[in-house]
Structure 1
């Protein structure tokens, strides 16, 4: 409710300003802000629906063997702009692994973990991807998580960043549980590491 209440408040405020707008420039500005907030609400609702369907088991897995490194590379390519914007260094330590999984869902897992890593890595920092025979890891340089954060991080709507909905990691959890994978998070010497196996 809180996630949707904030953009609704912004929409209400700018709708009132729109009624009193005296120039075309200000009208266009207010309409643009309103449309951005509508897109945000739509994104939140779709993500909530996806999480609900995952947790209720209504999403059928379409499993087949796929190269895990190819999935990771596709995600890294998708985040090229964000990685370059923060001038982050990407380290890849890959073994050849073909994973029996639903590739669309596992790519979503890697996507959410990568987005999380980028948010919590300082500029010029390093994100490391490791693919081992029975384990995938993504480690980012950054602040350690407290014990309390480690326990709550998989719960819906728990988010440290202001722009996030707190739904990314719960979706990761739901997908990995549907696959029957073990997963977790731990602090490392450099920062924080997420894994599944």
Structure 2
């Protein structure tokens, strides 16, 4: 790492105005390099060198070397997915030329700087990456607010009008028959508000991961939602486990169950089973047309008048936060089937199945 006086002066000029509201995470397998860079950056940024910061995702830019990238790759990928569409920059400190790096490395990192690190080169890169992140955050927040406002004004207006109209009719006629319709409209509004709050909290990136039983979570989640006369068939061995945030995984199952119930009649069977690298939730209902299978993951999109349009986006967000993938296919009976893949299935001791 270079430390001559002209470089130092350039660095100080570049960082005349501190940006300590932005946190940098330094992940280096080489302790001495981490200490030197941390000492240089600390006066200007909120710098962390703790893996706890990596685990909870409370950073705005990560500077790392190839050893740390290899060690923490899965978690880094998970945070990238969880932050989308907001830009979360990774800057790699490499000891080799760019053309010698593996393509998988190039796909994950946003900038590469080779050693020895020249401070007058690092400074502008950090400022540029953080500026782009801040801009992405501002655009995302504005877009999020605009979409939320549009969804709220559209989806709440109809049940609100229904409730008002039926209350008025109830007063005029002194009849209780209009109260049930009013109650249904208010329940619809309550469901929408709960889903909006759940989605707006964006709580799914900070996971509390532990070894959990897939079958137990799948069964327990069924009791969290209204399913009428529908039946659940959990076709899972009892000894299948996975590393997951149990409360988030419960939300994933609950929203898939509710989606199946809301889009079909009561005479429905929902099945949960294993895939080679994950699990599925399938039903024997009417299915989802192929042309709608990507659209349904968008916020506020629903083909059901009683749906809030946030159930499946929540499912996708939970999957992304765990570095899983979720796709819609067709079940054997022609219904909808949600395949959750990229999941490492384990036994009760935490050993991958089959080993």
Do they fold alike, i.e. is TM over 0.5?
yes
What residue number does 2:103 align with?
none
Decide whether the 8 Å contact of 2:326 with 2:340 is kept in 1: yes
Decide whether the 8 Å contact of 1:69 with 1:131 is kept in 2: no
What residue number does 1:193 align with?
337
C-alpha distance in structure 2 between counterparts of 1:89 and 1:101, whole Å: 22
C-alpha distance in structure 2 between counterparts of 1:19 and 1:121, whole Å: 35
Decide whether the 8 Å contact of 1:53 with 1:59 is kept in 2: no
Q: Looking at CA atoms only, which structure, 1 or 2, has the larger radius of gyration?
A: 2
Q: How does 1:98-117 map onto structure 2 within 5 Å? A: 98-117=241-260
2:294 to 151, 155, 167: 151
| 1:95 CA drift (Å) | 6.4
SS at match of 1:145: coil
What residue number does 2:349 align with?
none
Decide whether the 8 Å contact of 1:95 with 1:133 is kept in 2: no
C-alpha distance in structure 2 between counterparts of 1:4 and 1:44, whole Å: 8
What residue number does 1:61 align with?
207
Decide whether the 8 Å contact of 1:7 with 1:38 is kept in 2: yes
| 1:184 CA drift (Å) | 0.9
C-alpha distance in structure 2 between counterparts of 1:45 and 1:64, whole Å: 29
Higher relative contact order structure (alpha carbons within 8 Å, sequence separation ≥ 6): 1
SS at match of 1:94: coil
2:196 to 48, 51, 54: 48
C-alpha distance in structure 2 between counterparts of 1:99 and 1:190, whole Å: 28
The size of the alignment, in residue pairs, is 188
- Pairwise CA RMSD of aligned residues? 2.7
User: Residue 150 and residue 13 in structure 1: after superposition, are their counterparts in 2 closer, same or farther (change >3 A)?
Assistant: same
Decide whether the 8 Å contact of 1:93 with 1:131 is kept in 2: yes
| 1:142 CA drift (Å) | 2.9
Instruction: Note the alpha carbon deviations across 1:62-81, whole angstroms, 9 max, x for none.
Output: 221111111012123556x8
User: Residue 59 and residue 41 in structure 1: after superposition, are their counterparts in 2 closer, same or farther (change >3 A)?
Assistant: farther
C-alpha distance in structure 2 between counterparts of 1:43 and 1:144, whole Å: 23
Decide whether the 8 Å contact of 1:62 with 1:101 is kept in 2: yes
Instruction: Note the alpha carbon deviations across 1:30-82, whole angstroms, 9 max, x for none.
Output: 4554344333223212211211222xx57632221111111012123556x83
User: Residue 20 and residue 173 in structure 1: after superposition, are their counterparts in 2 closer, same or farther (change >3 A)?
Assistant: same
Decide whether the 8 Å contact of 1:68 with 1:131 is kept in 2: no
C-alpha distance in structure 2 between counterparts of 1:14 and 1:39, whole Å: 14
Gaps of 5+ in 1: none
What residue number does 2:154 align with?
2
Gaps of 5+ in 2: 1-152, 342-355
| 1:149 CA drift (Å) | 0.6
User: Residue 103 and residue 10 in structure 1: after superposition, are their counterparts in 2 closer, same or farther (change >3 A)?
Assistant: same
Of 162-171 and 131-140, deviating more is 131-140
Q: How does 1:71-90 map onto structure 2 within 5 Å? A: 71-78=217-224, 82=227, 85-86=229-230, 88=231, 90=233
1:38 to 178, 186, 190: 186
